[in-house]
A and B are shown apart, each in its own frame.
Chain A
């Protein structure tokens, strides 16, 4: 660790991993509910589990991004963090608000929660992924703004690099697009537009900048490749990502009451969206091949390469499967969407958090050369368990989606939703099994931090 203030990243990383464990656990409970509908009835209904599952993911990723930022920005700017104290205070605010919100979801019926949290003053609740009560949303804004302030002040007064510029642009976008979460038009179609302005422009534009910056940082550190070389790739990738990603918002406007031209804009621009991800694979593997140093922390580079591959598969390939409007007419809202959602969030974002944690955490714990060989061997096992688990889960969900489409949308001999769900039961079991593998992989990952070299 070059700067002492980098240490503020540690609680963020640890909390992110705890939240991830929670997220997967709640995911598994839901996977069981898909098979046994009355599992946990009436304690926790499916909609609550789902809300907890997705909200934990978002908070987990924000924590991971913040940890990554606080770790990399001092090193990039070549100075201490502007205010480590602020970073720690916001950590506790964020953690407390996050826990309170999740408890709120679990302990109080959602309708009561809306009453308790002043939703009547400014109605913002009830939208997928943005279910947070008003105080939490305001809290997120405050935390994110202080996070940006801290990062910007450090960057402005220190060395400016392409990585920090890209990162700050991403963070600014993250803050700006979240503001749409506060605007809920009465018109349902308008409501969807504004909802996607937050959700899509987060995951398919601004977050990709954050991800690109983190990936570039870890690649510089683990390969020793010239910064100039990496910067060019980064610019190229993010430029393509931004153009295709912003226009690609159109693929969410299919068949929801938006004008027909969105079918074309959405289809064509999102057909191009996988290309920057393909470039990211070329980027990671070229840098790894041309590496000038052999970093002892081999797992960090493995995660970096894995991120590029899984992001391409999850966001690129699985996105492309159903992004063309004529195909989407059949796949819209089936388990195929869920398959894409799972692999893309995991491949692009959860894995970039693993990448930075695997690189930074050993250093934060006083091991500048990474964890010992034995620990890295365990970590490699966890890497494969989680990746195979996620891949299997995605394939199972894709199969489920295809059955759903054949059951309910192709031909004239169609069956109802519940009947169709019953016909998928076997596939849901496979999905749950792969989910267990992912959770086991995560615990193996945790365990790898405590493995010591034999004396």
Chain B
């Protein structure tokens, strides 16, 4: 009986509120993905032609970076889960190191994205150029803002691990931030093939 209660408490990880936010984000992005898919069907040539301007390489590197960062966040969460009252300070420090790697990945993603945007804007492309670039800009800029926010959230958690702020009894905040980061990652995993690859 008590076991089932603890299981229930541990799922979903993090604060329940973050899951409401995550689902709303998914709905919003899903609407954009659907809009993209339907618009593409109406003018496949335009979409394929415009796609060629994008750099698949930088998109691929960014995908790799984000997945790696999520791996680091997972490692950090594992540290949280295995800490005890005796060693929680040590595990906070360990987790903070993994988080730092994850944040560095987040920043790298942002830097690469800014380079990509400056190239695109340098070509004089904007929201009104065509349907493809409208979706490209809406999706990637919106996602960019999420990575920015996600990195900020990871940084806040990082600061807290530095002062040993998480204990075996309470690391809900940590899992909340981690859940958000995984969402950011997951969105990109759909966005990347949809906008950069599928022809």
Interface residues of A (CB under 8 A from B): 232-233, 235-236, 239-240, 259-261, 264-265, 268-269, 271-272, 275, 279
Contact = CB atoms under 8 A, between A and B. Distances in A.
B19 to A, nearest CB: 11
B24 A275 contact: yes
A269 B138 CA distance: 12
B138 A264 contact: yes
A261 B138 contact: yes
B31 A236 contact: no
A221 B64 CA distance: 51
A272 B128 contact: no
Interface in B14-71: 15, 17, 20-21, 24, 27-28, 31-32, 35
B24 A232 contact: no
Residue of B24, B128, B138 most packed against chain A (CB within 10 A): B24
Nearest to A235: B17
Given A259-B128, A261-B138, A272 B20 contact: no
B24 A268 contact: no
A410 B61 CA distance: 50
B23 to A, nearest CB: 9
A272 B27 contact: yes
B134 interface: yes
Nearest to A276: B24
Contacts, number: 37
B194 interface: no
A240 B135 CA distance: 22
A265 B28 CA distance: 11
Task: Rank and list the top 10 A-B pairs by shortest CB-CB distance, nearest first.
Answer: A261-B127, A268-B31, A236-B17, A261-B134, A259-B128, A272-B28, A275-B24, A232-B17, A268-B32, A271-B31
A interface majority secondary structure: helix
Nearest to B30: A268
Nearest to A261: B127
Contacts of B31: 268, 271-272
A351 B135 CA distance: 39
20 contacts: A232-B15, A232-B17, A233-B17, A239-B21, A259-B127, A259-B128, A264-B32, A264-B35, A264-B134, A264-B138, A265-B138, A268-B28, A268-B32, A268-B35, A271-B31, A272-B24, A272-B27, A272-B28, A275-B24, A275-B27
Interface string B1-21: 000000000000001010011
Nearest to B39: A264
Interface string B133-148: 0110010000000000
B24 A240 contact: yes
B76 to A, nearest CB: 24
B111 to A, nearest CB: 25
A268 B21 CA distance: 16
Contacts of A275: 24, 27
Nearest to A262: B127
A235 B20 CA distance: 12
A8 B79 CA distance: 56
B20 A269 contact: no
Contacts of A264: 32, 35, 134-135, 138
A432 B138 CA distance: 45
Nearest to A265: B138
A424 to B, nearest CB: 34
B21 A240 contact: yes
Contacts of A269: 28
A303 to B, nearest CB: 25
Interface in B140-163: none
Interface in B88-140: 127-128, 134-135, 138
Contacts of A272: 24, 27-28, 31
A236 B21 contact: yes
Residue of A236, A259, A268 most packed against chain B (CB within 10 A): A268
Nearest to B137: A261
B127 A279 contact: no
Contacts of A261: 127-128, 134, 138
A66 B64 CA distance: 53
A279 B128 contact: no
Nearest to A233: B17
A149 B105 CA distance: 45
Contacts of A239: 21
A259 B127 CA distance: 9
A279 B20 CA distance: 9
Nearest to B34: A268
